Amino acid sequence: MGDRTPPLRSGSSKREDYIGWNDYFMATAFLAAKRSKDPVTQVGACIVNDDKRIVGIGYNGMPTGCNDDIFPWKKDNNNILENKHLYVCHAEMNAILNKNTSDVKNCTIYVALFPCNECAKFIIQSGIKEIIYMSDKHAHKVTTIASKKMLDAAGVRYWQYIPKSEKLVIDFTKINWNDMSQLPTSPMKNLELSDNE
């Protein structure tokens, strides 16, 4: 019986170019990356639970209390102690530690870059079950190879995300446009009419 019931049709015409969930969460990770002070590589991560709720966001940065105007951002300094890699907290680690739920078990993490071996350990230990990443540009590095070795052993799924379009633009001024109200079929126009009736 249920199979023959025609799909419900609403009178409104829904906007069709809204972004999908994967674009939304990956874009959130990329937006977080914009907070990073790293002059070379900005990474963001966004953790999402089964209900499609964001439960953690992070980006790469110096640990709390370690002044990012004083700690080094260079990576080729002869003085080993003056290189950022010794200090920077990675985006994935920060996203996990920033969680706003008791745990992130069975969650999915959206990341700009494939997680390194240290982040893979955090991901595995926190119970995250899926990684959706944008770039695997360090695939040849031992840190990535070791990462995949651990993720495979632990049964954490990972796959590369191909976004629908290369760019997603946020225009803060758009909210002030009133094009919609000028369209004869726009919901705002309809609202005005029905208010007048």
Ligand X SMILES: O=c1[nH]c(=O)n([C@H]2C[C@H](O)[C@@H](COP(=O)(O)O)O2)cc1CO
Chain-centre distance for alpha carbon 60: 13
Q: Identify residues 55-114 at the interface with Zn ion (CB under 5 A).
A: 90
In whole angstroms, give the CA distance from residue 59 to residue 61: 6
> How many positions of this chain bind ligand X (CB under 6 A)?
16
From ligand X, Zn ion, none, interface partner of 128 (C-beta below 5 to 8 A by class): none
By CB under 6 A, name the one of 75, 121, 148, 189 that touches ligand X: 75
55 binds ligand X (CB under 6 A): no
From Zn ion, ligand X, none, interface partner of 28 (C-beta below 5 to 8 A by class): none
Question: Among the candidate windows 64-72, 79-87, 97-105, 116-124, which touches Zn ion by CB under 5 A?
Answer: 116-124
Q: What string of DSSP letters covers 124-150?
A: HHHT--EEEEEE-TTTTSHHHHHHHHH
Identify the bridge partners of residue 44 per DSSP, sorted by sequence position: 59
Residue 68 in tokens: 């990012």
Question: Among the candidate windows 5-13, 112-120, 122-130, 167-175, which touches ligand X by CB under 6 A?
Answer: 112-120
Catalytic: 92?
A: yes
From ligand X, Zn ion, none, interface partner of 75 (C-beta below 5 to 8 A by class): ligand X
Question: Among the candidate windows 90-98, 122-130, 154-162, 171-179, which touches ligand X by CB under 6 A?
Answer: 90-98
Sequence-separated contacts (24+) of 63-71 with Cβ below 8 Å: 63/87, 63/89, 68/37
CB nearer to ligand X: pick between 91 and 151: 91
By CB under 5 A, name the one of 45, 111, 113, 119 that touches Zn ion: 119
56 binds ligand X (CB under 6 A): no
Q: What string of DSSP letters covers 72-97?
A: ---S--SSGGG-GGGTPBPHHHHHHH
Residue 83 in tokens: 């290189």
How crowded is residue 14: how many other Cβ atoms within 10 Å of its Cβ?
6
Burial of 156 (0-12, 13-18, 19+ CB in 10 A): buried
List, by residue number, the catalytic residues. Answer: 92
Residues near Zn ion (CB under 5 A): 90, 116, 119
Tell me which residues touch ligand X (CB under 6 A): 38, 40-41, 43, 60, 75, 84, 88, 90-92, 113, 115-116, 119, 138
